[in-house]
Amino acid sequence: MSVTDAVLYDHPGPRAKIRNRILTVVLGIAMLAVLYWIYTKFDDKNQWAGPLWKPFLEGETWTSYILPGLWGTVSAAAVAMVLSLVFGVIFAVGRLSDHWWLSIPAGAVVEFFRAVPLLLMMFFIFFGIPFLTEEPMPPFWAVVISLTLYNGSVLAEAFRAGIKSVPTGQSEAGYAIGMRKNLVMREILIPQAARAMLPVIVSQLVVLVKDTALGYIIGYTELLQDGVNTLGANFGNTVAAAIVAAIIYIVLNASLTFFAGYLERRTRRTGRAPRSPKTAPVTTGTVADGAATI
């Protein structure tokens, strides 16, 4: 993938080629042996038995468990994505404001919600808020609000780093032609920042999709709840159902990541994106574009 990978070792000569081949075969066999060992372990417990996997060949399993669950995951993720992008932009701009009464509270909110575990937030909203409002909190909104607060705060930091990475000449040129700060921000800085931080933003969205699975703990009917817990309880095949659900999540998130890679290549091609920010904020970890956010 990069220059460094190839220069860590010499181009193999005849002896190294033989050695690499031997190692490939030996390690390949070792890995197959481990896989076989796992297979037999599952086999001992009858986890590969036909009846456990048969439900996945029937349409009804998909229409009554997996697809409704997937819909729960996707709808909560979609609403939370939109809301957290809005939250992120607002609080990034707020934190960069010239007025201390705006920048300090915005910074405090972002730092606080970034530091609080999502599950703690979700429990507070789902179990705590009803005591205050005396109305039950729908699980959907408990999931969406907590996802928005957490991921929105992380995105706010990503946007802020992105805005700071835009060369100062850009905003200076804006001021020079008579734009106000508001207009400079909206028309010049944010569009460029969004482009620069695209990989980080999309990987945070992958995190968001994965975190919808926490909804399972408060009884929100998403993929883990419907497709693994309920389905597994009905057919006695929790392990099989968990494997199928994991594959669905992996396909969903890998396609999001692939989409991010495609967008990044496109941005690079036009060559208009500003350089990556020099100082990496701790949460976004720009050294590893899109790798460090969990």
Partner 1 sequence: MDVFSDSANIDTYVTGFLWILKLTAAATVGALVLGVLLAGMRVSPIPVLRGFGTAWVNTFRNTPLTLIVFFCYFGLYSALSLELSDDIDTNNYWLGVIGLSVYTAAFVCEAIRSGINTVPVGQAEAARAIGMSFIQTLTLIVLPQAGRAVVAPLGSIFIALAKNATIVGTIGLMESSSAMKELINANGDAVFPIFFVFAGTFAIFLIPTGYAFGWLANRLAVKR
Chain positions 188 to 217 lying near partner 1, rule: CB under 8 A, are 206, 210-214, 216-217
CB of 132 to partner 1, least distance (A): 6
CB 266 within 8 A of CB 198: no
Question: What own/partner pairs with CB < 8 Å and gap ≥ 24 does 233-237 have?
Answer: 234/65, 235/51, 235/52, 235/55, 235/61, 236/52, 237/51, 237/52, 237/53, 237/55
Contacts of 128 (CB under 8 A, 6+ apart): none
Asked if 226 touches partner 1 (CB under 8 A), the answer is no
Nearest to 285 by CA among 147, 191, 158: 158
Nearest to 207 by CA among 292, 294, 146: 294
Strand boundaries in 226-279, DSSP class E: none
Asked if 123 touches partner 1 (CB under 8 A), the answer is yes
Asked if 49 touches partner 1 (CB under 8 A), the answer is no
Q: Which of residues 51-80 bind partner 1 (CB under 8 A)?
A: none
CA distance 247 to 227: 12
Q: Which stretch binds partner 1 (CB under 8 A): 16-24, 62-70, 168-176, 269-277?
A: 16-24
Q: Which of 14, 98, 132, 135 binds partner 1 (CB under 8 A)?
A: 132
Closer to partner 1 by Cβ: residue 87 or 189: 87
Q: Which stretch binds partner 1 (CB under 8 A): 88-96, 136-144, 174-182, 243-251?
A: 243-251
CA distance 22 to 164: 51
CB of 185 to partner 1, least distance (A): 25
CB of 133 to partner 1, least distance (A): 10
Q: Which stretch binds partner 1 (CB under 8 A): 54-62, 80-88, 194-202, 275-283?
A: 275-283
Q: Which of 115, 180, 234, 268 binds partner 1 (CB under 8 A)?
A: 115
Q: At what angle do helices 198-211 and 238-270 cross, to 10 degrees?
A: 170
Query: What are the tokens at 48?
Result: 């590969």
Q: Which of residues 164-183 bind partner 1 (CB under 8 A)?
A: none
Q: Which of residues 247-266 bind partner 1 (CB under 8 A)?
A: 249-250, 252-254, 257
Closer to partner 1 by Cβ: residue 31 or 82: 31
CB 129 within 8 A of CB 137: yes
Query: What are the tokens at 107?
Result: 């910074």
Asked if 5 touches partner 1 (CB under 8 A), the answer is yes
Asked if 228 touches partner 1 (CB under 8 A), the answer is yes
Asked if 221 touches partner 1 (CB under 8 A), the answer is no
